[in-house]
Structures are given as C-alpha cells and as structure tokens.
Structure 1
Amino acid sequence: MSVEAVFPELAPYRARTTRLHPRPGRPGPRDSHIGGPMLWPADEPWPLCHEPHGREFEGYAPEEIRSARTAGVSPRSRPWPGAETAGDDDPAPFVGLAQLFRRDIPGLACGPDGADLVQVFRCPLTHGPYLERRYHLRWRQAARTERAERLLAAPPQVPLRRWEHELPEPCVLHPEEVDTYPWAENDTLPAPLIARIDAWDDEQLAEHGLDAPSYQYDLSIPPGWRVGGYPTWASTGPMTIDCASCATPMELLLTADGCEMDGGSHSWAPLEDRDPSLRGKASIRGGVSVARPTRLRFGRDRDLHVFVCPADSGHVPRWVLA
C-alpha cells in the first residue's frame, strides 16, 4: 500500500530511513554489526561507566546464556560475586552493542571531524531506584582505526549479566532503505491531517477487523533497528528533543529495538519470512532468529532513540526510551 496514495499531504514529510535487518551470524571487527567484536585499538582504554551502580545479588554468566540459547532453554542464574558486600563503587566496563560504518549504512550521519564509524555501548549494571541504564557513543574515523598496529582481542567485562537479555547475540546486518513518515500525534503533523489519519484507521478496523492496516504500525515507521528517519513515540507520546549545549532541535541518529516485528501488525516483515497463505502474526516464519535476532531489550520493550545535534556533532547525544 502506498502511503502517499492514501494521504498525498504526507509527501513533504517523506524521509529515508535505513532498516538494519540484523540476523544471527559471525561478524568481525571490521564489519557493521550488532553484538559483534568492536574495532578497538589495543592501546586505547576501554570505556568505563564511573557512575554509582546498584547492588547486584544474582545474574547470568555469558557462556551459559549462549549455551541456553543454543539448547532453546532458559539459563540458570548464579549468585553475584561479592553480593554479600554493601555495594560496588568500582567503574564498570561498558558492553559493546553495535558498530556501524557509513560505507555499509546509507544515511548514517557524519560524526565529529568527519567520523564515519559509530560505536554504541551500554553499561551492564543499573543506576538508581528505577534501574536506569547508561549508554555511551564513540565516533571514529574508520580508515585511521583500521590502521591500528594491534586490535583489542577481548574487552573487559563484568562476570555476570543482570538479565539474559543484556547479552547481545552477534548479528550481521542487511541494510535496506525505505521511506518513513512522522508519528501522527499531537503536533507532529497538521491537526486536519491527523484527524484524517485517525478516521482512516477507524474505517480500516471496521472493515477488516484485527488484521486491519493502520498508519502508525503499517504505513509510517518500520519496527526494528534503523538509522535516521523519524522516531516512534508509542510509550511516551511525542517529545521535543533539544541539544543541551545549544538548544538546537536534535535529529535521530539511530533507533535500537528488541523486536523486528510490530506488536500491532507484521506488514514490515520481509516477504521471504512470511507464509503467504496466512495473515498477521501467524504468517511470520523463522522464530526468534527473525523476530528477536539480537536478543536485546530496552526498558520494558521500548525503542531506544539516539539523538545527535545537527549543528555540532561533537555535542553530547541524548538517549530516549519511547
């Protein structure tokens, strides 16, 4: 279904996004990937989270998580080393989540000083009473980094992971550019257009029932990991994201999502992963490796949006769960 055929007024809002389509694989340090080895010079310190961390009592060993995934069972939890102590104020090594090269990802924004490689990290421990997470973004010039005399063989890590879904499954990427349109709520689009979209959604539901297409789920923004385009606001409603340094409206660099399929529909699923004789969720083939290939979660199954300042890419990025 063509979005602009239904709503011609959306044409000026059209923007490109690159779906990453992660699938379990064996990426190397010179590949774009999720959950694979980082391109990291051996003589460069690994990033550490220096903020106070919550006290941990039990967790899951990475090797046991991997074995359990292979066997299709749940891993066994273990007591956290030193759990009997009052807490741990030592810095925690960040965990590498993803790295993206502009040579692989159309539309990836340019970083400071022409950086064309971005690496994304998350602290494996929690912060504060609401178990918040901390993230880290590292920009690099790919060619210069690839000339490093030696690369880091194995980064430092905490002994256990608090949850099984803290350990990313190594995934190779299959980038695909698609058109995307704004989330339709509040003032993200003109009010008369949002009213038309809402009325159309109601008509589709009345005619087709639970398998009815909808603007938010089927026509505007694809689910899953993606670069650029528009953010989703399903959990929070639209938010204004301005740069803390210069107040410039920030732009979406990356969206990380635990699921590659929408909760409302599955129209964005690749054709090769569908059974054409079935509809909706039942039509998806491939199981977990297709629906949740990275095995990661963000918040309570929310999207993690990474925003950067278009006026100065060196300004501090913002991380928003929506």
Structure 2
Amino acid sequence: MTRTTPARPVSVEAVFPELADHRGRTTRLHPRPGRPGMRDSHVGGPMLWPEAEPWPVCKETHQRETEGYTPDEIRRARAADVWPRRQPWPGTGTPGEDGPVPLMGIAQFFQRDVPGLAAGPDGADLVQLFRCPFTHGPYLERRYRLRWRGAEETEQAERFLAVPPEVPLLAWEHELPEPCVLHPEEVDTCPWAEDDTLPAPLIARIEAWDDAQAAEHGPDAPNYQSDLSIPPGWRVGGFPSWASTGPMAIGCASCATPMRLLLTAGCNEMDAGSHSWAPLEDRDPSLRGKDSIQGGRSVAQPTRLRFGRNHDLHVFTCPADPAHPPQWVLS
C-alpha cells in the first residue's frame, strides 16, 4: 500500500512566498511492520550480506550492564503485545565488555527504491546502517557505522548470510528494531526556521505568524515547525530538524566541505505536535484531526527504535567525497 501525506493545513508559500526560493524535497520512508527480504529496502529486516564477508563488530570497551532482554524474548513479547522479561547478564558482565561485539543491523536502502538517496563512494547505490547494541563511556555514547555497496555486484554473491550474529542480551527493549517494509513518498519541505537557516526578516515573520495563529485558534493551530516545514520520522535527504540542539554547521572533518543530510532516523513517525503529517491511508475519513489516526503504535512508533532521548538521528555525508567519514548528529 502507498502512503500519502495530506495537504498541509495552510499553503506555506501562500503565507510566505519567499520560501519558494528555499524549498527542498525529502523522501518520507513510512516504515510499517512487515516481512521485508534481504533484497528490499527496509528498517530492521535481513541485510544483503555475502556469507564470506565478516560481519561488522565493535571493538571498543562497553558500558557495564547487569540486566537485559534476550532478542528472542523481545520478539515473543511483541508478538503477544506484552512487555519482555528482564534477566541477569550471563557470566561476569556485559558481553563484549573486554572484546568485540556484533553490530546490530538497523536499516538498508537501495537507490532503486528510494528517490533522492545520494550515491556513496564509487557510485555505490546500497547503504546499510549499523549500531553498536551497547553504550560507551560515562556519557553513554553510541557508535554507528555505514556500509556502502554496489547493489548489482553484491547480489551476485554465491551465498548470503541467513542469520547474523547477535548479542545474547540487550540492555533495552528499544535496541531491537522491528522489521519494517517501506513506502517511500517524495514531499516538499522547507528549512527549519531558527538562527541563520533562513533570512532573519523571514524568520521573524514566521514567528509572528505562529504567535498570531496560536492567539486566534488556540494550541491546535498550525505551526510552521510542526506542520509546514519538515515531516517527522524516517526520511532521506531534505533538511535536518533542530528541535533539541538548535541549528549546527556540519563540516567534513577531512576536507571542511559543508556536509549534506543523507538520511534521518526518527524515533516517532508523529507526535502530538506533528500529527498532521500522518498519511491518509492511516486515517478514518469519518473523523478529523488526530482522532482520525488509526494503527496505534504500528503507525506512531513502527520501528520501536530510539535514538538518544527520543531525538532524530541525522546522518551527514561529504558531497565532495562520499568516502570521507560520515557524521552522526542527534537533534
């Protein structure tokens, strides 16, 4: 099934015509729980991984844990719509505390499936996203990794890894992604309005308009940041949202070129302030507003993943040389 973003509550360029010069495009991925295959673009599904190639691991020292959830227990609990049981770590401490642990496959995207997905090094058209299942250091930092591939060449491998290695316990239920199929949809988007993301006079007008809308229509009035600029959830390309940190200049550590947003991984596909973006296919047409949204958690939090404290994870790459190291920004 396709997913269709509703028309915006207000035509943003009718209110602010100068935004036409700043308009962009983003591809909303609309993940929904399903059974993707290794040759599909997905979140949480099986990776297209040649059997002869070593699975990626994290070799750093990890934060010690005392309890956790087995991946299979998480899967059974989700199927039964109950909460999984915590249990003590086996042995003396966190698996991999003093050695490598297998990374968790989070998502993979083929350029053939996802409009607007930038190419990787040497024109690579398949990107795979991994995360270490454990935290690092006193600030509980996370480690992510991108693996770029040529899809056609990879698909010619003789054998593929059927079951990737995984750690026996996870510290949190939300470390395990729910397998999700994607429903890519290109939509218009406008920049976040703060600091120097747009001309200062335009940002002042946007803020004044927001205030006037709230004064006239109350808390449910359309808001630029929530309803008119950047859609929530998983998306490719477009503009980053800066709700938690404020705008940041992201330059390549190798060559200082301003980096571009490759993709955004979101904890939620919508929340109380962004429900206007919920697709038409997930709504009851007889109802209005957020009361019309159907599907519960499978629509609002389909991947079950969390990034930071319910932030967006922005992945930036270098447009001058995609082989340069990416940058990971929580906002």
TM class by shorter chain equals: over 0.9
- Partner residue of 1:18 out of 27, 43, 60: 27
Structure 1 counterpart of 2:92 = 83
Structure 1 counterpart of 2:4 = none
8 A contact 1:227–1:253 mirrored in 2: yes
CA separation of 1:86 and 1:23: change in aligned 2, threshold 3 A: closer
Structure 1 counterpart of 2:254 = 245
Q: Does 1:313 align with 2:325?
A: no
Q: Does 1:184 align with 2:216?
A: no
Q: Does 1:208 align with 2:217?
A: yes
CA separation of 1:88 and 1:234: change in aligned 2, threshold 3 A: same
Structure 2 counterpart of 1:256 = 265
Structure 1 counterpart of 2:120 = 111
Could you say what secondary structure the match of 2:302 adopts?
coil
Q: What is the CA distance between 1:83 and its match in structure 2?
A: 3.5
Structure 2 counterpart of 1:134 = 143
CA separation of 1:199 and 1:24: change in aligned 2, threshold 3 A: same
8 A contact 1:223–1:268 mirrored in 2: yes
8 A contact 1:54–1:126 mirrored in 2: yes
**1-structure distance, mates of 2:241, 2:75:** 31
Could you say what secondary structure the match of 1:138 adopts?
strand
Q: What is the CA distance between 1:194 and its match in structure 2?
A: 0.2
- Partner residue of 2:50 out of 29, 41, 45: 41
**1-structure distance, mates of 2:201, 2:63:** 48
Q: Does 1:159 align with 2:168?
A: yes
**1-structure distance, mates of 2:94, 2:23:** 54
Q: What is the CA distance between 1:130 and its match in structure 2?
A: 1.6
8 A contact 2:66–2:94 mirrored in 1: no
CA separation of 1:185 and 1:34: change in aligned 2, threshold 3 A: same
- Partner residue of 2:242 out of 233, 242, 248: 233
Q: What is the CA distance between 1:93 and its match in structure 2?
A: 0.7
The CA RMSD measured in Å over matched residues stands at 1.4
**2-structure distance, mates of 1:74, 1:3:** 42
CA separation of 1:50 and 1:85: change in aligned 2, threshold 3 A: closer
Q: What is the CA distance between 1:265 and its match in structure 2?
A: 3.0
Could you say what secondary structure the match of 1:54 adopts?
coil
* Alignment-mate amino acid for residue 208 of structure 1: H
**1-structure distance, mates of 2:118, 2:94:** 44
The percent identity for this pair of structures is 77
Moved more, 75-84 or 152-161: 75-84
Could you say what secondary structure the match of 1:267 adopts?
helix
**2-structure distance, mates of 1:262, 1:318:** 26
- Partner residue of 1:31 out of 37, 40, 44: 40
**1-structure distance, mates of 2:24, 2:153:** 31
Could you say what secondary structure the match of 2:50 adopts?
coil
**2-structure distance, mates of 1:25, 1:213:** 33
Q: TM-score, normalised by structure 1?
A: 0.97
Could you say what secondary structure the match of 2:115 adopts?
coil
Q: What is the CA distance between 1:280 and its match in structure 2?
A: 4.1
8 A contact 1:17–1:180 mirrored in 2: yes
CA separation of 1:11 and 1:42: change in aligned 2, threshold 3 A: same
* Alignment-mate amino acid for residue 295 of structure 2: G
**1-structure distance, mates of 2:213, 2:169:** 48
Q: Does 1:72 align with 2:84?
A: no
Q: What is the CA distance between 1:199 and its match in structure 2?
A: 0.7
8 A contact 2:62–2:94 mirrored in 1: no
**2-structure distance, mates of 1:109, 1:280:** 35
Moved more, 37-46 or 1-10: 1-10
Moved more, 231-240 or 202-211: 202-211
Structure 2 counterpart of 1:148 = 157
- Partner residue of 1:287 out of 271, 282, 296: 296
**2-structure distance, mates of 1:87, 1:297:** 22
The aligned runs of 1:290-305 (5 Å cut-off) are 290-305=299-314
Q: TM-score, normalised by structure 2?
A: 0.95
8 A contact 1:100–1:119 mirrored in 2: yes
* Alignment-mate amino acid for residue 140 of structure 2: L
Unpaired runs of 5+ in structure 2?
A: 1-9
